[in-house]
Structure 1
Amino acid sequence: MNFHLIMDFAHELVEFVKEWYWIPLLILYFGVISTILIENRNPTKTISWVLVIVFLPFLGLLLYYLFGQKFNKVRRIKRVNQAQAVRLKKEWQSLEPYMEKDIARIKERIGNLSRVFIFLKNERLSSPTTGNRVQLLINGEQKFSELLSSLTNAKHSIHVEYYIYELDDIGSAILDILNKKAEEGVVVRLMVDSIGSSAMVKRMKRFKKTKILFKPFMPVNFTSLANSNYRNHRKIVVVDGEVGYVGGINISDRYINQSESSSTRFWRDTSVKIEGPAVNMLQVGFWNSWNLADGHPFLLHEGYLRSIPLEKKCGDASVSFVSSDPASLGPYNMEAILIAIGEADKKIQLVTPYYIPSDELATALQVAAAAGIEVELMLPKKSDSYIVQHASLSFIKPLLERGVKVYFYTKGFIHAKTISIDEKLSFIGTVNLDIRSFYINYEIAAVISDAALCRQLDRQFETDKMSCERITLTKWKRRKTWKRGLDSVCRLLAPLL
């Protein structure tokens, strides 16, 4: 009897669900869409998520859960950021007189472009520093030889923070050095992104005997899948608090081009080596990330910051850093770039593997070109992401119409993220010119004023142009209709990429 009652109840329940299933689904959709609207996001991104949810039933909700929500993790990041700022406030205030003097020196050298340094100081992102030595590093061939030498000569500490750390030849060579230095008593802290370096995370979990202090950044498991959207895209090394590296080059053999005739795809990228007082700011940046990843705490004054006498200069470069994360008060990297573009006088050269700009950036470049400034943008002809590439292509026509010169790099894949302005100011870092870098990822860029480095970067741009195809408006309009349509479809996903 009980069995028949259960079956009857189950049948009634199924019939009820068949007839009225749309009510809880409607409530769910209404709740999600209301949440998106209440968050007051960028209108373009808001509309994009609403369209995805409406036109991709169930799948759209899943995508929003995984990649769209502003989860508790972001609120925690904000709390950590605020706590870090409070801890550094006293030290920051003590530096005020020195920062004002550095700003005056920078302004004397580059005029209104110094506003970028003032912005970073006012937002307490990084103090302006002068008297640094900088070295431009082109591709893995130049970077890794310098990096291996710096690591080998470390005496006090090594801090490493990377998005991708692969266990290939160069990755294994670096890991061997890190293990050796740790055995010698050097403090070695290694932090990698848990998704970008998943193999490395597994390796370090199995390798229990190492003295390396290791932390995966924001690990992802079944209960934290939604946090997979927030990735640490930075590439930082700080050795002894005296030498720093930052740029687009991850730890991977792909960045080392063995020869021009190699069968592997040519990989074009850029990093910079920095020595001098600016390295202290890079050290603070690593300290912030380490604390956020719940690494075993350490104090910066325990030998990790270097006191450099004012009369002792490493070089002539002025250096600061602009970092951002999903909980930043603003898209600081984009804002710093906009300030620089607004103060440009003659020439702007930009290199990026992904161009999915914010409305503000696209407008700034178009207005600069229309105002008579030479604006040049270099992109890879063939990207490593099909959807992202076609989304990028949908933004090209407005640039061409306003006089921006666009080049497609054909030699291989250009992965560099650099900006050079008037041969006076340079950005070298991890920041792509896309929404993800501006608003979602953990990113960092070195802002550098150094005449020699700026000239080198400009010469490298001219060299790379020899391996490029110049895109004209006439040529662009001749593209096949289906390709333009594909670009437009992929562009719909641009705010979500």
Structure 2
Amino acid sequence: MDIFYNFIKCLVFLIYCLLIANITFRVLIKHRNIPSSMSWLLTIYIIPFIGIYFWFFFGELYLGKRHKKIANRIWSISNKWLNELKSCTYIFQIKNSEVATSIFQLCKHRQGMSGIKSNKLKLLTNTKIIMQILIRDIYLARKNIEMVFYIWKPGGIADDVAIALIDSAKRGINCRLMLDSAGSIEFFQSPWVTIMRNAGIQVVEALKVSLLRIFLRRIDVRQHRKIILIDNYITYSGSMNLVDPYLFKNSSGISQWIDLMTRIEGPIATTIGIIYSCDWEIETGLKILPQLPNKTILKNTSNKHSSIQVIASGPGFPENMIHQALLTAIYSAKHELIMTTPYLVPSEDLLQAICTAAQRGVEVSIIIPLCHDSILVKWASRVFFSELLEAGVKIYQFKKGLLHSKSILVDQQLSLIGTVNLDMRSLWLNFEITLVIDDSDFGQNLLCIQKKYISDSQLIDKKIWSMRAYWKKILEKIFYFLSPLL
């Protein structure tokens, strides 16, 4: 019996050593930044069993075999369609503003297309009004409606959107709805799924979460995009989930979530449509390529001086693209840089870019929520405050709710708006989308919104911050240790 137990102990120890060696090798051969690699190695060696568990669930970016196979081939199959789109030379902007030139060149070389012109843009900040405008657009739809959201929570005005979608499907509109399995768990447990499918709406549960699937793929890779496409001409994108702001997480005591959405009419809907098509194909295996832009309709579009690029991230899309775009935008700033984000856990490169911008004379402001829905991120973000404040960055804490808007404004000209938070999860893992907009009028509108955020915020004083309790500094360091893993 003793021999048997000794054999079992030796076998377990051998398996443990092989697992540690295997993970160490994987960490070292991956092109990770040093803080991330060190965090993983320390986690694995200091708390080995927990560290091994976290590695297998959160350490490597992978999808299920079917998802991965489709993701690897979607762009090669779409090349013919993309070449046809490039032949529509009337939609492409030839020249960009000085501050936007670098980022648009990056997008052109990595994504193969110049910026798209002839779009009518509108910034929307009130969630209830956004929903009302959306419901109107749904009822006016003539051909198709496509949606993807991270969260759809039934109740309140979200149900009004559902009813509008059902009515449109019943009158013959082709409706597709894709929702993240984890983010929209309440929706998939509600009767709305059956009601919608019975009405003819194609409802897809993206990146399904189940006990079986956690052994087959990474469970924290999420479909975080927020996109609405109507008739291949009207599109919405931004930070808003499909929820009633007066009902969503109202028991948390944080108050209402503050979001920002962009409604656009024009040919940019076509490029967003190809992103939706790829996401749909990854989940269903079916391709639904959008129609090419209508030249006749574009003649009536007045705004031909602006330019938009769409950047998508996630498996199957250009790697590291959003991170590169953020860095390029920050380094392009000459006078003013304003950023809003609910989650501030930047990469080392982004942190240095922001600090460097302030140190070379750019007026840099970062607006984050005072009250937070994530304790981990709240404490992890605080460790960056001292370095940012020391560099001259102004950090504002928004007091009137949870500021969920994700925006960057460079020199009041170049705007970045979308779903991307300034944290590792958005930068490296999730399916995200960012609109890069070169338009001075749009920039002025965004500036007004950001200034309103600032007026409803409190500025962190560098001296007072340096005098915070010692236990808080220790807690911040502990969460900083975990920040590359968040």
How high is the TM-score relative to the length of structure 2? Answer: 0.92
Distance in 2 (alpha carbons) for counterparts of 1:125 and 1:252:
35
Correspondence for 2:353: 364
1:214 equivalent to 2:203? Answer: yes
Among 237, 240, 243, the residue aligned to 1:249: 240
Among 453, 465, 468, the residue aligned to 2:442: 453
Distance in 1 (alpha carbons) for counterparts of 2:379 and 2:433:
26
Correspondence for 1:311: 299
Q: Contact conserved, 1:99 with 1:129, CA < 8 A, in 2? A: no
* Farther-moved stretch of structure 1 (148-157 vs 444-453): 444-453
| Higher Rg of the two aligned structures | 1
Distance in 2 (alpha carbons) for counterparts of 1:478 and 1:407:
18
After superposition, the Cα gap between the structure-2 partners of 1:323 and 1:185, relative to the gap in structure 1 and judged at 3 Å, is same
Among the aligned pairs, what percent are the same residue?
28
Distance in 2 (alpha carbons) for counterparts of 1:170 and 1:151:
14
Among 298, 307, 317, the residue aligned to 2:288: 298
Correspondence for 1:168: 155
After superposition, the Cα gap between the structure-2 partners of 1:236 and 1:157, relative to the gap in structure 1 and judged at 3 Å, is same
SS of 1:66's equivalent? helix
* Farther-moved stretch of structure 1 (53-62 vs 227-236): 53-62
Tell me the CA shift for residue 451 of structure 1: 2.3
Tell me the CA shift for residue 78 of structure 1: 5.9
Tell me the CA shift for residue 351 of structure 1: 0.2
Task: For residues 438-481 of structure 1, give each alpha carbon's deviation from its aligned partner in whole angstroms, at most 9, with x where no partner exists.
Answer: 10011001111222221111111111111111112212101111
What RMSD over aligned residues (CA atoms) do the two structures have, in Å? 2.3
* Farther-moved stretch of structure 1 (11-20 vs 343-352): 11-20
SS of 1:41's equivalent? coil
After superposition, the Cα gap between the structure-2 partners of 1:112 and 1:416, relative to the gap in structure 1 and judged at 3 Å, is closer
Distance in 2 (alpha carbons) for counterparts of 1:279 and 1:495:
34
Q: Contact conserved, 2:131 with 2:161, CA < 8 A, in 1? A: no
Among 271, 274, 284, the residue aligned to 2:261: 271
1:417 equivalent to 2:429? Answer: no
Distance in 1 (alpha carbons) for counterparts of 2:126 and 2:106:
30
Task: For residues 315-358 of structure 1, give each alpha carbon's deviation from its aligned partner in whole angstroms, at most 9, with x where no partner exists.
Answer: 34322211111454422112112112222221110000011111
Task: For residues 287-340 of structure 1, give each alpha carbon's deviation from its aligned partner in whole angstroms, at most 9, with x where no partner exists.
Answer: 111011115443434xxx431345332534322211111454422112112112
Unmatched tracts of structure 1, length 5 or more: 1-7, 258-262
* Farther-moved stretch of structure 1 (374-383 vs 48-57): 48-57
Superposed, which structure 2 residues align to 1:416-435 within 5 Å? 416-435=405-424
SS of 1:439's equivalent? helix
Correspondence for 1:35: 26
Correspondence for 1:92: 82
Q: Contact conserved, 1:426 with 1:448, CA < 8 A, in 2? A: yes
SS of 1:131's equivalent? coil
Tell me the CA shift for residue 88 of structure 1: 3.0
Unmatched tracts of structure 2, length 5 or more: none
Correspondence for 1:491: 480
SS of 2:15's equivalent? helix
Tell me the CA shift for residue 39 of structure 1: 2.7
Correspondence for 1:155: 142
Amino acid at match of 2:210: N
Q: Contact conserved, 2:341 with 2:403, CA < 8 A, in 1? A: yes
Q: Contact conserved, 1:164 with 1:197, CA < 8 A, in 2? A: yes
Q: Contact conserved, 2:100 with 2:438, CA < 8 A, in 1? A: no
Q: Contact conserved, 2:226 with 2:237, CA < 8 A, in 1? A: yes
Correspondence for 2:323: 334
After superposition, the Cα gap between the structure-2 partners of 1:21 and 1:157, relative to the gap in structure 1 and judged at 3 Å, is closer
Distance in 2 (alpha carbons) for counterparts of 1:95 and 1:479:
56
After superposition, the Cα gap between the structure-2 partners of 1:166 and 1:72, relative to the gap in structure 1 and judged at 3 Å, is closer
Tell me the CA shift for residue 184 of structure 1: 0.8
Q: Contact conserved, 2:180 with 2:222, CA < 8 A, in 1? A: yes
Q: Contact conserved, 1:103 with 1:117, CA < 8 A, in 2? A: no
1:64 equivalent to 2:55? Answer: yes
Amino acid at match of 2:398: Y
How high is the TM-score relative to the length of structure 1? Answer: 0.90
1:228 equivalent to 2:219? Answer: yes
Correspondence for 2:187: 200
Amino acid at match of 2:299: E
After superposition, the Cα gap between the structure-2 partners of 1:29 and 1:463, relative to the gap in structure 1 and judged at 3 Å, is same
Tell me the CA shift for residue 267 of structure 1: 2.1
